[in-house]
Amino acid sequence: MLEFNTVSFLLLVVLGAFVQTVSGFALGLVIIAGATILELELIAFSAAVISLISLVNSSVALRTSYRNIDRSFLTYLCITIMPGLLIGVALLTYLSEVHYFVLRVLLGIMVIVAGILLLLKPALYVQRSGKVSTSVFGILGGVIGGLFSSGGSAWAYHLYRQPISVDVVRTTLLAVLVVSCIVRTIIITVAGQMTVSILVTALISVPVVIAVTEVTSRNLSRIPDNIVRRLVVGLMTLTGFLLIFG
């Protein structure tokens, strides 16, 4: 029989998968923020589970669309993701041991910012971004990914402003997420932070994410996107403040 904490964690996975399908990102932030506030798991544990879930989910989604990947953006983002992930995981390890409150505050700020991004519809650039700006977002997303396994918000903001098709953006973002999750999982495994509990929780969560994503995708036309986004933003803002001041 599953423990109460595991069942509660899976309910957060359901909510996160729903929000991810409707909005395009925030799976990791919903899970990690909820688990932290409810004190179900430590941030490092949730982040490790999210990496494995996202790896499987994104890989499945890429099976039929990988030909749409923009290899130029993928290359520059992935190159700069590496150092960002190392910095992020190192910060996570240090803050978890010494300043856990600071880690909660950082997570709270990240959740609020991600909520605001859900409402924004930034204008497209006239020209494709160059190596420098793409590298900056690559490092930024890498650090966030290392800390919270949620670097997708930074990469999505950057890619969705490019003058390329939405299908290419989505596929490229999925590819970046796959690379990020693989590298992050390798880093924490080498560091001796991967546990059986993390693997079991991820194994249970994956079919839940796939099922919720499938059901939600089939009914997207019936879901009032604007209303859902506003509710999610309100919830994420409240969650962010609870993390900071709770």
Cα–Cα distance between 164 and 92 in angstroms, integer?
34
The DSSP result for 157-214, as a single string, is HHHTTSSS-HHHHHHHHHHHHHHHHHHHHHHHHHTT---HHHHHHHHHHHHHHHHHHH
pLDDT in tens, the chain (246 residues): 567 788 999 999 999 888 877 766 678 888 999 999 999 999 999 999 999 999 988 888 788 788 899 999 999 999 999 999 999 999 999 999 999 999 999 999 999 998 888 777 778 899 999 999 999 999 999 999 999 999 988 998 899 899 999 889 989 998 999 999 999 999 999 999 999 999 999 999 999 998 998 888 888 778 787 777 788 888 889 999 999 997
Number of Cβ within a 10 Å radius of residue 200: 12
The reported pTM is 0.91
Cα–Cα distance between 240 and 246 in angstroms, integer?
9
- In this prediction, residue 2 carries a pLDDT of 65
Please give the DSSP secondary-structure letter assigned to residue 65: T
For 149, the domain range is 4-245
Residue 4 three-state SS: helix
- In this prediction, residue 24 carries a pLDDT of 66
- In this prediction, residue 42 carries a pLDDT of 94
- State in Å, rounded, how far the first CA of the chain is from the last one: 32
Number of independent structural domains in the chain: 1
State the burial class of residue 55 (Cβ atoms within 10 Å of its Cβ: 0-12, 13-18, 19+). Answer: buried
- In this prediction, residue 49 carries a pLDDT of 96
CA 45, 48, 49: angle at the middle one, nearest 5?
90
